[in-house]
Structure 1
Amino acid sequence: MRFVFTQKTLGILLLIAAVGCFGAVDGLSKVLVNDHSFGQIVLARYAPALMVMLAAFGPRKWKPLFATQRPVLQIIRGLTPLCVGGLMILAVRHLPLAEATVILFAGPFFVVALSGWMLGERVTASSWIGVAIGFLAVIMVARPGFDALSQYTVYPALAAVFYALLQLFSRSLGAAGEAPATTLAWTLLVGTLVSLPLAIADWRPPSLSGWLVLLALGAAFGVAQYFLARAFALAPANVLTPFTYFQILSAVLFGILVFHDVPDGWTIAGIALILGAGAYVFGRNAQQPN
C-alpha cells in the first residue's frame, strides 16, 4: 500500500507537535505555580512570544500581520486559549499533571459533536471510532483520580469546553483563509493585553531560574499556538481531533522527568490505546485524498 503525504497528513503531524508543546506548557506552569502569581504565569505564555513575533516581522509588516477579515472571531478565538490556560493553571495547582490533562480530554467529544453543526464538516466513522477509543483510554488513565473526585476537577472540565471551542474556531479561521501567522498574532496580543494587568497587580520577583522557566513557557506556548493554527488550516477538525490525545503522552513524560510520577499499569494500557487510536485514524485518513 503506497503512503501518500497530503496536506491532511501534514496537518496531523503539526497537531501532534502542537499538543506535545501544550503538555510541556502545563508542566512548566506546575513548576512555576508555587512561587509565581497566576497573572505572571499567564503573561509568560503570551508576552515573550508576541515580542519575538513582532521583532521577527519588523515594524513595516505589523499592519499586514494583523490584517484580518474576521476581527471579532480572531478576538474570540484569542480568548479561548486564555481560558484554557487559566483554568489549567488553577487545575495543576491542586491536581497531578497527568490527571488534570486527561480530564481536559473530554474536549474531543465536543469537537466531533459540534464540527458538523458549526463547520458543516462530515464526521467519518473512523473519526468517531478514534475519538471513542481515545476517550476510553482517557478514562483508564484517569481511573485513580475518579475514585476520589474533588472540587478542583471542575477546572480541567471547564477547560475541556474551551479547548474544543479553540479547535473549532481555529478550523473556522483556517477555512476562511486567515493566515496562521495572523491568527497567532491576534492570539498573543489578546492574551498579553488581558494578562498584563493581572501580572502587575500581583507581581512576585522571579529568581534567575524562575526567569528561565518563564521564558521556556513562553517559547513552548508560542510554538504550540502556531502549529495549532497551521494544522487546522490544513485538515478538518474532526480528522485532527483524535490526535489531540497525544498531549497526554507529553504530560505523562513531563511528570516522569520532572515530578517523578511514574505511571501505573492502567496508565500504560491507556497510552497504548491512545497510540492505537491515533495510528488507526492516521492510516485511514492518509489514504484519502484532500
Structure 2
Amino acid sequence: MQESRNKTAVDAEGQSRLEAIGFMIAAVVLFSALDATAKYLVTREGLPVAQVVWARFVVQFSALLLLVPAFGIMSARALFTTSKLGLQLVRSVLMVATTAFNFMAIEHLRLDQAITIVFLAPLVVALLAGPLLGEWVGRRRFMAILVGFTGVLVAVRPGFGAVHPAVVYSFAAMLAYALFMLLTRYMSRYDRPLVTLFYSMFVGTFAGAPIAFAGWHAPESALAWILLGMLGVFGGLGHWLFLHAYQRAPASSIAPFLYMQLLFMVAFGFAIFGDLPDSWTLAGAGIIVASGVYLIHREREAARGR
C-alpha cells in the first residue's frame, strides 16, 4: 500500500514538472511575439518606447479586470490581499524594468541578439535558486544549463563583431529578469497567481502612465492600434502561463527551457524583419534543443529514481 502511494506521488510530481515545461514553452512563444510586436511598433510605426511599454500593461490590466469574475473574485479587496506586500511591489517594479529595458534594447538590436543576453538570466537563476530558495541544482542539470548557454553563444557569435551600446539595456533587462523569476517562484508559495498578476499589471499601468503621456505620439494606422492591443494579449497570457509553470516545478528545473525562446525569436525576426539566421544560429539552436530534450529525459529519470 505504501509503495503504491509513493509511486502515485512520484508520478504526480513528474506529471507536474512536465506540465510546467509545457507552460514555459508556450509562455516563451508569446513573449517572443510580444518582443517582435514591440520592435515593429518602435521601428516601423515610430512610437516611443515608453508608450509601447505602457500599452502592454494597460491593455493587460483592463483585460484582467474584465476576467476577474470568472475566477470567483468579486471584490477589489481580494485582489489587493497579499501576505508579502513589499515583495509583490518589488517584483512588479522588476517586471516593468525588464520590459522597459528590453524594449529599449530591441529598438537597436536584432531580436536574437537581445534575447541572447537576456538568456544569461536562467544561469543566474540556477545559481541563486539554491541559496535564496533552497532549490539546489544537481550536477547534471547544471551541466545541461551550461550546455544550453553555450548554444546561445554559438548562435550569435558572428553578430558580436561590432557591439551596439544598446547591449547595456539588454544586460539591465537580464538582471531584472533573473530577480523577477526568483521572486515569482518565492511568491507562488504565499499568494494566488491571479493576485501576483494583478499587482504586476497595477504597478505597470499607474506607474508608467505619466511617462507614457509625457511623450505621447498618436498611432497613425489602424494596424498600430491593433498591435498595441495585442501587446497586452501576448504579455498577459504569457505571464499567466509563466506563473503556473513556476507553481508546478522548481525554478532550476524549468529555467533552461527559456533557451527555446531563441528559436521563436529567429522565426519572428525572419518573418517580420527579414533577419536570416546563419549557420552559427542554426548550430546554436540545435545545441539548445538538445539540451532541452536532455532535461526532459532527466526529469523522467529523476522521477523514477525517487
What is the one-letter code of the residue matched to 2:210? P
- TM-align CA RMSD: 1.7
Aligned 8 A contact 1:6 1:286 in 2: no
Corresponding residue to 1:7 among 3, 16, 23: 16
Task: Summarize deviations over 1:229-278 as a string: whole Å, max 9, x none.
Answer: 11111110110111011111111110111111110111001111111101
Match runs of 1:1-290 below 5 Å? 6-34=15-43, 35-58=46-69, 60-174=74-188, 176-206=189-219, 207-289=221-303
**Stretches of structure 2 lacking an aligned partner (at least 5 in a row):** 1-10
Q: In structure 2, what is the Cα distance between the partners aligned to 1:162 and 1:4?
A: 30
Q: How far apart are 1:22 and its partner, in Å?
A: 1.1
Q: Cα offset for 1:287?
A: 3.6
Q: CA shift at 1:4, angstroms?
A: 8.2
Counterpart for residue 6 of structure 2: none
**Aligned-pair identity (%):** 33
- d(CA) in 2 for partners of 1:235 and 1:154? 31
Q: Are 1:3 and 1:286, in contact at CA under 8 Å, matched by a contact in 2?
A: no
How many pairs align? 288
Take 1:183 and 1:109, find their aligned partners in 2: how far apart are those partners? 24
CA change 1:286–1:193 in 2 (3 A) is farther
Separation in structure 2 between the aligned mates of residue 213 and residue 45 of structure 1, nearest angstrom: 10
For residues 71-118 of structure 1, what are the alpha-carbon distances to aligned partners after superposition, in whole Å with 9 as ceiling and x for unaligned? 111111111121111111111111111111111111111111110111
Q: CA deviation at 1:155?
A: 1.1
- Residue 75 of structure 2 aligns to a residue whose secondary structure is helix
| TM-score, normalised by the number of residues in structure 1 | 0.95
Q: Could you tell me how far apart the structure 2 residues matched to 1:247 and 1:179 are?
A: 26
Q: How far apart, in 2, do the equivalents of 1:4 and 1:240 lie? A: 14
Supply the AA of the counterpart residue of 1:205.
A
